Amino acid sequence: MPFVKATDGTNIHYVDSGAGRPMVLLSSAAMGLQMWDRHLPLLAAAGIRVVAYDRRGHGRSDWPWDGYDYDTLADDLACLIEGLGLTEVTLVGNAMGGAELVRYLARHGADRVRRAVLIATVTPTLRRSPDNASGMTAEELEHVLTALRVDRPRYFTEIATPFYAGVDAAPGDVPLSAEFIRWFSDQALQCSSRATIESNRLLFTSDLHEDLPHVTVPTMVIHGARDPIARLAECGEATTGLIKDSQLVVYDDASHGLAVTAADRLVADLLAFARD
């Protein structure tokens, strides 16, 4: 089973298709590399060398108690990229993975990176601020963290409808089978409870306004117009405005989980951007 060592000795589990120009996929909070099950074979069949991994505390990687901050997570990514000797990389980050990507470029530079893609990005910030009136308050965050401590399975089941179908959606509006949603939720439960709670705390308290101008590679921002978690104006549009060489692609009918509900369109967009 392939692992790379992080700087603190943590084992990071990854999968590598092993041929072609490299694309590294960074998953959303609580999700491991299995979230890319639909995308991996399609990208590899198109000639891309696909690398995906379980961040610390997730999936088959080690479950250390600490290290759930963007500096450490960016350093873990650096260990993966350098350990595999990757260059000319297209970095693809989904939600929290996009924030890790941004911190990596701000912290380690773009010498090994050719392009970047931010999907349903949580940057610049998800916390309530003058620039993000719909952001999460400290009280709302405590409610989320309490729900995760008390009953994680119920939490992931209850957020499925807005996550996949958007604001004011009904369960019947989710364009996925009940079996798929259950399988996807089961993946989130493979993340340690400590990593789940600390990743959510990180998500909703961080501010990456100062990091985004350090993203100097061509960047594509893909965002769902119906995203209730990282809203289009406050996240997708704001992020694009802070990255000089960037373009925004809006999926009009998509919510935060667009990587799953619009997987085929996403793969086509990734391939077109990586080959441009």
Give pLDDT tens digits for 134-190: 899 999 999 999 999 999 999 999 999 999 999 888 888 999 999 988 998 899 999
Tokens of 145: 């963290």
CA distance 57 to 161: 25
CB of 261 within 8 A of CB of 164? yes
Domain count, the chain: 1
> DSSP code of 237?
I
pLDDT of residue 159: 93
Q: What does the DSSP assignment read for 89-142?
A: EEEEEETHHHHHHHHHHHHH-STTEEEEEEES---SB-B-BTTBTTSBPHHHHH
Model confidence, pTM: 0.97
Q: Structural domain of residue 238, as residue ranges? A: 3-275
CATH code for position 61: 3.40.50.1820
How confident is the model at residue 164, as a pLDDT? 95
Q: How far apart are CA 136 and CA 58, in angstroms?
A: 24
pLDDT at site 217: 98
